[in-house]
Amino acid sequence: MDRRRFVMTLAAASGTLAFPLSAHAQDFPNPAGDELYKPSVGQAGKDVIWVPTPDALVRRMLEVAKVGEQDLVFDLGAGDGKIAIAAAKLFNARAAGIEYNPEMASLARRNVDRAGMKGKVEIITGDIFDPKLQERFMQANVITMYLLPDLNLRLRPTLLKMRPGTRVVSHAFHMGEWEPDDTFTVDGREGYFWMVPANVAGRWTLKDDNGWEGSVDLTQRFQRVGGTMSIKGKTQPLLGPYVSGDVLGFTFVDADGSVRSVRANVRGEALDGGLHFARMVTTVKGQRR
Ligand SMILES: C[S@@+](CC[C@H](N)C(=O)[O-])C[C@H]1O[C@@H](n2cnc3c(N)ncnc32)[C@H](O)[C@@H]1O
């Protein structure tokens, strides 16, 4: 979607403001200073205008990302703080939002207070492209965003450096050639979900605890992988290779003709998992050469 269509789409969303977790100025007449700042839907922002994500879609984004109490959720371009507040209030996560506009960030902080989420939600005033803030949001295991396609693409290299298994969920906009792992629609609005894949490309030697050995060559494009297995000098294409977060899996035909599968966790240059044959499982370890 180009910027003009985006602005029109956002403008059409102006009926979606009422969100009970981030109430608006008229609900809180004075004590928190909201009379000093009343944002309007569609107002300019540094890289993108402000329009809040509708409540139902906020909830669905957090459900699709399976947010829970173990999670640290960061909303990039936090607006009035509603996604970060919902992550804490509805899903019990710790959450933070980064918002460039200082007045909007102050409003978001007041909304955090009013939602009773002060210890659980932090609103940071700053630029999502500031390397120092990028270091901070890279500590999260869930990222939410409602930005623009070109901003998603600018963020993509940073997101791909985050821990494998990090969940990323975006309202309306995709991530170019990094295909989503899931898409969903709420009231005609689209959401996209990705899981950061481990880097598995290269040649791996594998050994199990029964003396079995093999060598795997993997090529990778985001979460898509392909490759071959070599056993005793014979090479074959892998069957159904996949990477999902830090999990690598594939099936192959062993030297004796039996069909076996590997499912392993990738930790940097090593992998550790199981070699499955029918109901038997042996421990398999691998090293990238
Ligand atoms: C479309 S709104 C989304 C707000 C909120 N995430 C939501 O979904 O309800 C985008 C927000 O990003 C903020 N923003 C724009 N450029 C930014 C930047 N470079 N760094 C941080 N925030 C930014 C805008 O001020 C605006 O509040």
What pLDDT sits at residue 263? 98
Task: Inform me whether the pLDDT recorded for 13 exceeds 60.
Answer: no
CA of 245 to the centre of ligand 1 (A): 27
**Residue 254 and residue 234: Cα distance in Å, rounded?**
10
Ligand 1 and 50: CB distance under 6 A: yes
| Nearest atom within ligand 1 for CA of residue 52 | 9
Least confident window among 14-18, 44-48, 128-132, 217-221: 14-18
CA of 79 to the centre of ligand 1 (A): 5
CA of 278 to the centre of ligand 1 (A): 51
**Taking residues 76-83, what's their average pLDDT?**
97
Task: Inform me whether the pLDDT recorded for 17 exceeds 90.
Answer: no
SS3 61: helix
What is the spatial order of strands in the sheet that 72-76 belongs to? 121-125, 94-99, 72-76, 142-145, 167-171, 189-195, 182-186
Q: What is the share, in percent, of the chain residues with pLDDT greater than 90?
A: 86
What pLDDT sits at residue 36? 77
Given a contact cutoff of 8 angstroms between Cβ atoms, the answer to whether 143 and 169 are in contact is: yes
Per-residue pLDDT band at 32 (split at 50, 70, 90): low
Per-residue pLDDT band at 12 (split at 50, 70, 90): very low
**Taking residues 186-193, what's their average pLDDT?**
97
| Nearest atom within ligand 1 for CA of residue 10 | 1
Q: What is the share, in percent, of the chain residues with pLDDT greater than 70?
A: 89
Ligand 1 mutation target, pool 125, 144, 146, most atoms within 8 A of CB = 146
Ligand 1 and 98: CB distance under 6 A: yes
CA dihedral 180, 192, 65, 19 (to 10 degrees): 170
Q: Residue 69 corresponds to which amino acid? A: E
Ligand 1 mutation target, pool 6, 61, 100, most atoms within 8 A of CB = 100
pLDDT in tens, 235-277: 999 999 999 999 999 999 999 999 999 999 999 999 999 999 9
| Nearest atom within ligand 1 for CA of residue 46 | 16
Given a contact cutoff of 8 angstroms between Cβ atoms, the answer to whether 219 and 282 are in contact is: no
What pLDDT sits at residue 228? 98
**Residue 81 and residue 96: Cα distance in Å, rounded?**
8
- Return the closest-CA partner of residue 210 out of 268, 260, 267: 260
Ligand 1 atom 6: the closest Cα is on which residue? 78
**Taking residues 170-185, what's their average pLDDT?**
97
Q: Residue 273 corresponds to which amino acid? A: G
- Kindly state the DSSP code that residue 188 receives in the 8-state scheme: T
Mean pLDDT (the chain) is 91
**Residue 120 and residue 112: Cα distance in Å, rounded?**
9
How many degrees, rounded to 5, is the angle at CA 168 between CA 165 and CA 170? 165
- All domains of the chain, ordered by start, with CATH? 3-195 (3.40.50.150), 202-288 (2.40.128.20)
How many degrees, rounded to 5, is the angle at CA 65 between CA 129 and CA 245? 80
Given a contact cutoff of 8 angstroms between Cβ atoms, the answer to whether 218 and 207 are in contact is: no
Task: Inform me whether the pLDDT recorded for 3 exceeds 60.
Answer: no
What pLDDT sits at residue 28? 40
pLDDT in tens, 88-139: 999 999 999 999 999 999 999 999 999 999 999 999 999 999 999 999 999 9
- Kindly state the DSSP code that residue 130 receives in the 8-state scheme: -
Ligand 1 mutation target, pool 48, 132, 143, 190, most atoms within 8 A of CB = 48
Per-residue pLDDT band at 35 (split at 50, 70, 90): confident
Task: Inform me whether the pLDDT recorded for 15 exceeds 60.
Answer: no
What pLDDT sits at residue 33? 64
Question: What tokens were used for 163?
Answer: 């821990």
SS3 112: helix
What's this model's pTM, rounded to 2 decimal places? 0.89
What pLDDT sits at residue 92? 98
Ligand 1 and 75: CB distance under 6 A: yes
pLDDT in tens, 273-284: 999 998 899 999
CA dihedral 148, 150, 153, 155 (to 10 degrees): -70
Backbone angles phi, psi at 277, to 5 degrees: -140, 115
Q: Which of the two residues, 10 and 117, has the higher pLDDT score? A: 117
- Return the closest-CA partner of residue 234 out of 250, 219, 214: 214
β-strands 270-277, 280-288: how paired?
Answer: antiparallel
**Residue 238 and residue 230: Cα distance in Å, rounded?**
10
